[in-house]
Amino acid sequence: MRLEQITAKALERVNHDRYLLSKAIGKRAEELSSGVPPLVDMDIKKYKLTDIALFEIAEGKLKVERESL
């Protein structure tokens, strides 16, 4: 699936709130960089951490809530 399609799917999960999505991706990317394993089957050495975080949100592996950010 193309990155644009993944982004659209992730935006649907956060009610099309781009600010909330970007904050969630940044926070999750920090967690991934500190050694937390990804929730999707993607190689950290091959993909950008922000892309992995985006895929996790798009697939519903992470629940994004405004209060947690």
Q: What is the pLDDT of residues 14-52, one digit of tens each?
A: 999 999 999 999 999 999 999 999 999 999 999 999 999
The whole-model pTM stands at 0.89
Q: Give the residue with greater pLDDT, 18 vs 1.
A: 18
Among 69, 51, 58, 65, residue whose Cα is nearest residue 12: 58
Whether the pLDDT of residue 63 is over 90: the answer is: no
- Domain limits, the chain: 3-68
3-state secondary structure of 61: coil
CATH of range 3-68; options 3.90.940.10, 3.40.50.12780, 3.40.228.10, 3.90.1150.10? 3.90.940.10
